């Protein structure tokens, strides 16, 4: 009988550890995505002011690094809790990963435009980057609570 109780306790502990890991990754990706929003706001401030876009390259590089790792922040079992992630992230994983790849590609275009110092090109690339964000949000992110 003791063995069954100990086995049950071990299974519960593993389950709770898995839930804790899922909540950690949810918190990590939420904070990361909020950071991406702050990066976009900072880029918009520069383009609206028609400022020097070349220093934005560092911001865009940080965004590219983040988005390259984003799919790994959505492991199986991390779709419940304090998250707006929709189940389609896991049921349409190929589509989700393609949307993310599109974002990385678009950020590359934004980086090129920013590095050129051309405000108009950077603004256009920024606007397209925003549209690329939205193209992922619609199928894979639920509404605000």
Mean pLDDT of 122-141: 97
Residue 126 lies in a domain: yes
Asked if residue 109 lies in contact with residue 128, where contact means CB atoms within 8 angstroms, the answer is yes
- pLDDT of amino acid 8: 45
Residue 23 located in a structural domain:
yes
pLDDT the model gives residue 16: 41
Q: What is the pLDDT of residues 40-54, one digit of tens each?
A: 999 999 999 999 999
Sign of torsion over alpha carbons 28, 34, 40, 45 = negative
Residue 15 falls inside a structural domain: yes
For the segment 94-119, what is each residue's pLDDT rounded down to a tens digit? 999 999 999 999 999 999 999 999 99
> What is the spatial distance between Cα 103 and Cα 109, in angstroms, rounded to a whole number?
10
**Contact assessment for residue 59 and residue 39, using Cβ atoms and an 8 Å cutoff:** yes
Could you tell me if residue 95 is inside a domain? yes
Does any domain span residue 39?
yes
Sign of the CA dihedral with 83 first, then 87, 90, and 92 last: negative
Bridge partners of residue 65, in order along the sequence: none
Report the CATH number that the domain containing residue 35 is assigned in CATH: 1.20.120.10
What is the count of structural domains for the chain?
A: 1
- Tens digit of each residue's pLDDT (9 = 90 or more) over 58-97: 999 999 999 999 999 999 999 999 999 999 999 999 999 9
Which of 32, 64, 60 lies closest to 47 in space, CA to CA? 60
User: Cα-atom radius of gyration of the chain, to the nearest Å?
Assistant: 19
Domain span holding position 95: 2-140
Instruction: Give the pLDDT score at 141.
Output: 96
Give a yes or no: residue 43 inside a domain: yes
**145: in domain:** no
């Amino acid at each position: 009988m003791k063995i069954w109780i100990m086995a049950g306790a071990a299974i519960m502990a593993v389950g709770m550890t898995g839930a804790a890991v899922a909540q950690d990754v949810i918190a990590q990706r939420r904070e990361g995505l909020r950071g991406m929003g702050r990066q976009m706001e900072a880029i918009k401030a520069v383009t609206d002011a028609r400022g020097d876009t070349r220093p934005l390259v560092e911001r865009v590089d940080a965004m590219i690094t983040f988005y390259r790792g984003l799919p790994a922040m959505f492991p199986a079992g991390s779709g419940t809790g304090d998250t707006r992630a929709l189940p389609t992230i896991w049921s349409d994983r190929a589509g989700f990963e393609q949307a993310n790849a599109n974002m990385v590609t678009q950020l590359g275009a934004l980086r090129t435009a920013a590095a050129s110092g051309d405000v108009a090109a950077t603004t256009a690339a920024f606007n397209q980057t925003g549209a690329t964000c939205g193209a992922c949000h619609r199928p894979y992110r639920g509404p605000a609570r």
